[in-house]
Amino acid sequence: MYTEKLTSVKHPFEPVVDKNSRILILGSFPSVKSRENMFYYGHPQNRFWRMLADIVKADVPQTIEDKKNLILSNGFALWDTLAMCEIHASADSSIRHEVPNDIPGLVKQYGIEAIMFNGNAAYRYFEKYYGKDDGLEGIIKKALPSTSPANAACSYERLVGEWGSAVNELKEKILKEKRY
């Protein structure tokens, strides 16, 4: 049982998605730094933005607008599994009394074809709330290593390799089925 003081926090920002989004990238819940910066993956040591830019062969985005453009111009959407929770600092392991986001609603509204999970916590919470009968039959789901600085055991090269392979594989499958 987690013994540190927990704070009740509501997710502070909207999903990044548009009508061209086909692959949804889901995190668990924004870190303290992300909440302070008012955007996803805001911790300076989080490798998400650099990794994604390397995979799609783009410049590393610096502003929130650049980050949104990187996501949307490459057919991605970006959100988190949880809408609200009690949490200590940024520790996913401390999360309690969580409330999920309406992921099936977003997927259906925008025609999302695949979901990539940024780390085990995002996948675990998705499975807890939508894994049994999620109404998302036919949606490809892929859990990937977390880009968080807390996952320092995973090298940057491994992140780029695994995420890059997953992106290419998912885009290929979607194209093959003429869904991309």
Q: Is 20 one of the annotated active-site residues of the chain? A: no
Neighbours of 14 (CB within 10 A): 8
The one catalytic residue among 37, 46, 101, 151: 46
Pairing, β 96-100 against β 82-87: antiparallel
Burial (0-12, 13-18, 19+ Cβ within 10 Å), 116: buried
Residue 172's nearest CA partner among 24, 57, 58, 22 is: 22
Q: Known catalytic residues?
A: 46
